[in-house]
Structure 1
Amino acid sequence: MRPVQRLKMALLELWVSCLCWIPTPVGIALRYAGLKPFFASMGSVRIATGVEFVGLHNMRLGNGVRIGRHCILSAQNGSLVMDERAAISANVHVGADDGLIHIGARTAIGTGTVLRAANHRIDRTDIPMMDQGHVPGEIHIEEDVWIGANCVITADVRIGRGAVVGAGAVVTRDVEPFSIVGGVPARPIGHRLEKKQQGRNHVFEMSCF
């Protein structure tokens, strides 16, 4: 990377850091106006305090997107897309580095959840794993999905439309539309289209804004 490019990146990081810690609705308005030029595209978005961005130019945020406090959104050498009214609560880590993460419209993601589109390479034993680079992957979350608090969504997973992921679940495989999953690893425990679910309603500890 050329010195001029390094300087531009350093100045951008400083600008983002300054904007992201301004409280009150004034801060929300300043973040919207001050960060919008650096995104690939950005609709009417509400960004809370303390949010960290890496790779803004690789992010596309639709109208009505909400990002909670102290989230980390990273898309270095990757791509992050959040469709209209997608919402992530506080302390969520969305890591699209070297891969792709697509969060569908009207999807809600609870506090403390982690999404990682790439994994460390582990095939060699002669060098540390942290020096082996990454295997790129993709995460696709379709519209109207509800993901509870403290979940982990791993690479190469698709979560179907209208699905529910219970709090604390680790999703390592595809989730069918309108299904309800939970556990480690996440497994089907119900279906939203069933009229009766073993005589009781499934209740999960979900996180809201």
Structure 2
Amino acid sequence: MDAFLHRIFAALLRLVGKTYAMSPELPAGYLVNTLVRRLVWLLRALLRGRYKVFIGPGVKMRGGSRIRIGRFSTIGAHCQLDGYGREGLLLGERVNIGDYTIIGITNHPSQLGKGLKIGSDSGVGQYSYFGALGGIEIGSNVIMGQYVSFHAASHVFDRTDIPIRMQASTDLGIRIDDDVWVGSKVTFLDGAHVGAHSVVAAGAVVRGTFPPYSVIGGVPAKLLKSRLNEASLNETPST
């Protein structure tokens, strides 16, 4: 029975474009539970007019006509999605949004936000937050831990004669390129740009620009090393 379920599960993974191999140690109960849950989430999405998408319980969407979700993507339980923005909310194929994640684009009637774009095969951990007023763009194959937050806007506080809330704000946006690993509880501030193939250590507070293959960490985040240098040390000399 276990072998039969494993074959079914593996076939379904291939059908949706997943490339990872299943552990042969997974018990039948785990496989059955997962299959039933995914089927329920698929049916829930169909009832909401979303085809080939998995939607968990308690999900709330504002501006649904501006929310585009790619095939076989998953919206975790109790997520809140906001599509009200100039560019809306766009998720690629096989994107996973963890439970209780909040995506906000326009949070105040004084300014229409820009939007959020996440490339295919990227995943967001549970309890994450996206403030996409100035726009957030995340590439493909990006993986993130839990409690990651993005703040694509900031307050100016140069003057002391008026409250900070009455001063100007910035909305430079945030960009994370392809194939980046983001640890849990990382905070991205307005204007941050992390190059492709980089690693961001857990708990970092990131602003500014970092080149591809960076290893970043700290508060504020700094360049710790380059993965290119590490790769060159691990190469076997040719003869």
Q: Give TM-score, length-normalised by structure 1.
A: 0.75
2:74 pairs with 1:46:
yes
Q: CA-atom RMSD, angstroms?
A: 2.5
- Given that residues 67 and 83 in structure 2 are in contact (C-alpha distance below 8 angstroms), is that contact kept between their aligned partners in structure 1? no
Q: Within 5 Å, give how 1:5-44 maps onto structure 2.
A: 24-25=37-38, 26-27=40-41, 29-31=43-45, 34=48, 36=50, 38-44=65-71
Task: Name the CA distance, whole Å, in 1 between partners of 2:169 and 2:151.
Answer: 11
Structure 2 Cα separation of the partners of residues 102 and 32 of structure 1: 27
Verify: 1:108 aligned to 2:143, yes or no. Answer: yes
1:59 and 1:130 mapped to 2: Cα distance? Answer: 27
Q: Distance in 1 between matches of 2:126 and 2:137?
A: 19
Report deviation, 1:172. Answer: 1.5
Higher alpha-carbon Rg: 2
Q: Determine if the alignment matches structure 1 residue 165 to structure 2 residue 195.
A: no
| 4+ aligned runs moved over 6 Å, structure 1 | 196-199
Aligned position for 1:67 = 97
Establish whether residue 150 from structure 1 lines up as the match of residue 185 from structure 2.
yes
Q: Kindly tell me: are residues 54 and 131 of structure 1, through their superposed partners in 2, closer, same or farther at Cα, counting changes over 3 Å? A: farther
Deviation at 1:112, TM superposition (A): 0.7
Aligned to 1:17: none
Query: Contact conserved, 2:127 with 2:147, CA < 8 A, in 1?
Result: yes
Aligned partners of 2:65 and 2:83 also within 8 Å: no
Q: CA deviation at 1:40?
A: 4.3
Structure 1 match to 2:127: 91
Percent identical: 29
What residue is the counterpart of 2:4 in the other structure?
none
Change (3 A) 1:153 1:38: same
The aligned amino acid for 1:194 is: N
Q: 3-state DSSP class of the match of 1:127?
A: coil
TM-score (norm 2): 0.66
Contact 1:28 1:48 in 2 (8 A): no
TM-aligned CA deviation for residue 129 of structure 1? 2.0
Structure 2 residue runs of 5 or longer lacking an equivalent are 1-36, 51-63, 107-112, 235-239
